[in-house]
């Protein structure tokens, strides 16, 4: 590919692609290609100008080599990238806004007054009819007010005012439709599936394969805590399936052989064998879009109140118009009230503020599933953290395998990995990765595995019962023991590590020591949260009291609880809510799901268990916990903006009414100033809430590269 470097600073390139025209598909292809390169941290492609901004790490020459080798036809882009891209939608609505403005002002400048008058009357018919229909339904709402203002202006032959009102209303409709469709699309994309590997059943064996290799008619196995990857029919097993992402139902439903299941739902309990019916992800996306559009999930309480307040103000505006006319017998002064209504600004500025905040959160690696969750974060005063994989690093590592029986170290690790690979948890992944590093590969050699949430796993190998998990699970629940000759070794287990206990036939076989280091930014994040208004920071973990105390002291939390079960976390959240607190729960595992669901705002770490991400209201990238403080600050700023908008809308419009009634300004000026202020407040509400600046000034000269 040929391109020109327009600007360059360290870690950032702005290039122009040398081609006559860039299509939406080509822009998406280039964006996907660059976004999947390990040294590219961020990329934006502008199809209208055929430009791209690339942020990268490492060597600049590596990026230019990638661009030189790039060919659209050689990149195999997943179909869902095009299906779920919002690029075309954004371009279409930008063109609508530009076209509307050009046509409106073109008519005013170039057409004679009689022609403008006829066009205004023709366009006014639509708005007047909408107002009449509203009255016929027995309602006095915003369409009635709009129709009255336009009709009175037309009857008074004030065609410029009528045209301005209709223009501003049209712009408002486009902006509202655009932001709504974009937010629905962004939310649907965030909820769309991104499953790369699935367990395929072949000749009574489970084989881990790429999701793209599965075809209709294959049978896949979905274990507890995992997302169902395809639409299909249950052919074996039994489980409770959470369908909230498609139906909005909060309670899981039982699924047995013969019943249908759908892609994107989650197995909360049990295990299912599913006969695959369809492998396309587009139907899933369409279902999500329909579910969102049919629900109130996107709306915060403030948005709903603004919408209802706008409609409730209409009768008062009409009554005020009539009252001014009765008192003054001056049509001009009465029209000054009619031309200024609070409802237009309220109905437009408030949703835009919320949707813009959701968009800005997305640029920070934070996915918010609705405005009401940002509002809940803003109001929250208590935050509860899981420890493992949340306050500690998402990638724990196995440091030692200490054996206590007849199995050698590698064999013990191989057995542990064979069991752990079926379940989504950072500690389990550490065991699997350690086995891979030692090249301890295996065929499935166990019978059906059973996962006990927050405890461990049990199964049978060669008719011998094998369990792996916590000390409580292995020694108390399963009543396993340590052979006397190994008691001294057991008592000397290194305390700086977390421990996974493997037992075969009720005898301890090995202890896997896992290093789970604390995130460097955890303490800074807690301090930042307190600065943003969080008064209580709590840590809850299933780990030992000794480990919990050490982490709590290092992080600086206000309270901590050790050796807790999933129901304990959820119970704590419910008690805090009952005491009048607004609670945020942060977690990443299956055992965090009940608490995530119970909290006012549940926040999942992006590389945690699929069920946690599905149930959570908000998902943050796992790279930096400080994004949680960013989320809180963003929510706080959103609320400040909304309250400021309320004050400005009331102040400006009340002032315009007072000036109109006093005869200082004419209705034409009132309408113009009202609509202009509404548009300016709405446009300002679309801006970023958080301070940000470019990486630097682009001063490098342009160069041509083939």
In whole angstroms, give the CA distance from residue 555 to residue 539: 9
Q: pLDDT grade, residue 525 (50/70/90)? A: very high
Q: pLDDT grade, residue 524 (50/70/90)? A: very high
pTM over 0.85: no
Residue 528, Ramachandran bin (φ over 0: left; ψ between -120 and 50: alpha; else beta): alpha
- Right CATH for 397-515 from 3.40.50.300, 3.30.930.10, 3.40.1110.10, 3.30.565.10: 3.40.1110.10
User: Is the pLDDT assigned to residue 305 strictly greater than 80?
Assistant: no
User: Is the pLDDT assigned to residue 457 strictly greater than 80?
Assistant: yes
Q: Domain 371-392+520-616 falls in which CATH fold?
A: Rossmann fold (3.40.50)
DSSP string of 49-85, one letter each residue: TTEEEEEE-S-HHHHHHHHHH--GGG----HHHHHT-
pLDDT given for residue 355 in this prediction:
77
Higher pLDDT: 186 or 550? It is: 550
Domain boundaries, the chain: 3-77, 91-188+299-354+638-685, 197-280, 371-392+520-616, 397-515
Shortest CA distance to 211 belongs to which of 187, 224, 227? 227
In whole angstroms, give the CA distance from residue 358 to residue 378: 13
**One-letter-per-residue 3-state SS of 350-406:** HHHHHHHHHHHHHHCCEEECCHHHHHHHHHCCEEEEEHHHHHECCCCEEEEEEECCC
Higher pLDDT: 122 or 162? It is: 122
pLDDT, one tens digit per residue, over 233-268 is 999 888 888 776 555 555 678 888 998 888 878 887
Instruction: Supply the mean pLDDT for the chain.
Output: 81
User: Is the pLDDT assigned to residue 133 strictly greater than 90?
Assistant: yes
> Partners of 254 in the beta sheet?
240
Higher pLDDT: 29 or 289? It is: 29
In whole angstroms, give the CA distance from residue 556 to residue 523: 6
pLDDT given for residue 625 in this prediction:
83
Q: pLDDT grade, residue 52 (50/70/90)? A: very high
In whole angstroms, give the CA distance from residue 128 to residue 126: 6
pLDDT given for residue 390 in this prediction:
82
Using CB atoms within 10 A of its CB, is residue 550 exposed (0-12), middle (13-18) or buried (19+)? middle
Helix axes 301-328, 331-338, angle to 10 degrees: 180
Q: pLDDT grade, residue 511 (50/70/90)? A: very high
Q: Provide the 8-state DSSP code for 669.
A: H
Phi, psi of 497 (to 5 degrees): -110, 155
Shortest CA distance to 393 belongs to which of 420, 364, 427, 423? 427
Kindly report which listed range (81-95, 456-470, 509-523, 692-706) carries the lowest average pLDDT score. 692-706
Q: Domain 197-280 falls in which CATH fold?
A: 2.70.150
pLDDT given for residue 575 in this prediction:
94
**Average pLDDT rounded to a whole number, residues 384-389:** 84
User: Is the pLDDT assigned to residue 169 strictly greater than 70?
Assistant: yes
pLDDT, one tens digit per residue, over 311-346 is 777 787 788 888 888 888 887 788 777 777 666 677
Higher pLDDT: 307 or 337? It is: 337
pLDDT given for residue 4 in this prediction:
92
pLDDT given for residue 394 in this prediction:
59
**Average pLDDT rounded to a whole number, residues 118-138:** 92
Shortest CA distance to 231 belongs to which of 209, 216, 221, 253? 216
Phi, psi of 219 (to 5 degrees): -115, 125
pLDDT, one tens digit per residue, over 594-618 is 888 889 999 988 776 666 777 788 8
Q: What CATH number is given for 3-77 in this structure? A: 3.30.70.100
DSSP string of 440-504, one letter each residue: ------BS--EEETTTEEEEEETTEEEEEE-HIIIIIIS--B--GGGHHHHHT--TTSEEEEEEE
User: Is the pLDDT assigned to residue 438 strictly greater than 80?
Assistant: yes
With pLDDT > 90 as the criterion, what percentage of the chain qualifies? 24
pLDDT given for residue 228 in this prediction:
85
Higher pLDDT: 142 or 376? It is: 376
User: Is the pLDDT assigned to residue 183 strictly greater than 70?
Assistant: no
User: Is the pLDDT assigned to residue 66 strictly greater than 70?
Assistant: yes
């Amino acid at each position: 590919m040929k391109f020109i470097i327009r600007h360059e600073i360290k870690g950032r390139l702005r290039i122009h692609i040398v081609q006559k025209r860039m299509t939406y598909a080509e822009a998406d292809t280039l964006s996907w290609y660059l976004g999947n390169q390990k040294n590219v941290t961020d990329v934006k492609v502008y199809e209208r100008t055929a430009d791209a901004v690339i942020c990268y790490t490492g060597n600049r020459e590596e990026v230019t080599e990638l661009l030189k080798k790039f060919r659209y036809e050689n990149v195999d882009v997943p179909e869902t990238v095009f299906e779920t891209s919002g690029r075309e939608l954004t371009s279409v609505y930008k063109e609508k806004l530009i076209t509307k403005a050009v046509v409106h002002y073109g008519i005013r400048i170039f057409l004679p007054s009689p022609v403008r008058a006829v066009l205004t009357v023709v366009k006014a018919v639509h708005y007047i009819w909408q107002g009449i229909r509203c009255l016929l339904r027995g309602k006095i709402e915003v369409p009635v007010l709009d129709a009255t203002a336009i009709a009175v202006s037309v009857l008074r032959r004030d065609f410029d005012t009528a045209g301005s009102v209709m223009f501003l209303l049209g712009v408002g409709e486009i902006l509202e439709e655009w932001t709504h469709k974009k937010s629905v699309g962004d939310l649907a994309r965030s909820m769309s599936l991104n499953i790369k590997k699935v367990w395929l059943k072949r000749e009574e064996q489970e084989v881990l394969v790429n999701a793209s290799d599965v075809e209709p008619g294959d049978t896949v196995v979905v274990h507890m805590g995992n997302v169902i990857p395809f639409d299909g029919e249950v052919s074996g097993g039994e489980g409770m399936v959470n369908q909230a992402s498609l139906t909005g139902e909060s309670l899981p439903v039982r699924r047995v052989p013969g019943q249908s299941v759908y892609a994107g739902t989650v197995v909360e309990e049990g295990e299912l064998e599913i006969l695959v019916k369809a492998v396309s992800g587009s139907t899933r996306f369409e279902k999500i879009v329909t579910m969102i559009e049919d629900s109130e999930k996107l709306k915060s309480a403030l948005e709903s109140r603004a919408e209802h307040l706008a409609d409730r103000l209409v009768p008062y505006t009409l009554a005020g118009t009539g009252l001014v006319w009765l008192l003054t017998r001056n049509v001009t002064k009465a029209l000054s009230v009619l031309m200024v209504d609070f409802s237009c600004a309220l109905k437009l500025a408030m949703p835009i503020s919320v949707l813009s905040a959701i968009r800005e959160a997305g640029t920070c690696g934070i996915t918010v599933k609705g405005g009401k969750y940002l509002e809940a974060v803003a109001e929250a005063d208590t935050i509860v953290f899981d420890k493992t994989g949340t306050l500690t690093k998402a990638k724990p590592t196995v440091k030692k395998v200490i054996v206590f029986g007849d199995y050698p170290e590698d064999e013990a690790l191989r057995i542990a990995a064979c069991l752990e690979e079926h379940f989504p948890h950072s500690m389990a992944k550490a065991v699997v990765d350690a086995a891979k590093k030692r090249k301890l590969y295996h065929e499935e050699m166990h019978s059906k595995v059973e996962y006990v949430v927050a405890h461990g796993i049990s199964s049978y190998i060669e008719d011998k019962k094998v369990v792996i998990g916590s000390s409580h699970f292995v020694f108390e629940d399963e009543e396993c023991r340590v052979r006397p000759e190994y008691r001294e070794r057991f008592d000397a287990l290194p305390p700086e590590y977390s421990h996974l206990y493997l037992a075969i036939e009720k005898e301890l076989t090995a202890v896997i020591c896992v290093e789970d280091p604390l995130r460097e930014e955890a303490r800074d994040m807690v301090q930042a949260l307190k600065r943003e208004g969080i008064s209580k920071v709590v840590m809850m973990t299933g780990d030992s009291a000794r480990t919990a105390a050490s982490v709590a002291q290092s992080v600086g939390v206000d309270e901590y609880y050790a050796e807790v079960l999933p129901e304990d976390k959820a119970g704590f959240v419910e008690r805090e809510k009952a005491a009048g607190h607004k609670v945020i729960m942060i977690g990443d595992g299956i055992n965090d799901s009940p608490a995530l669901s119970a909290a006012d705002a549940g926040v999942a770490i992006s590389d945690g268990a699929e069920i946690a991400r599905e149930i959570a209201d908000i998902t943050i990238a796992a790279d930096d916990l400080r994004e949680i403080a960013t989320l809180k600050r963003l929510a706080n700023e959103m609320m400040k903006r909304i309250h400021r908008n309320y004050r400005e809308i009331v102040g400006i419009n009340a002032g315009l009414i007072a000036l109109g009634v006093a005869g200082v300004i004419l209705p034409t000026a009132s309408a113009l100033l009202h609509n202009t202020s509404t548009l300016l407040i709405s446009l300002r509400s679309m801006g970023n809430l958080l301070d940000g600046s470019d990486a630097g000034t682009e001063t490098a000269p342009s160069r041509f590269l083939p």
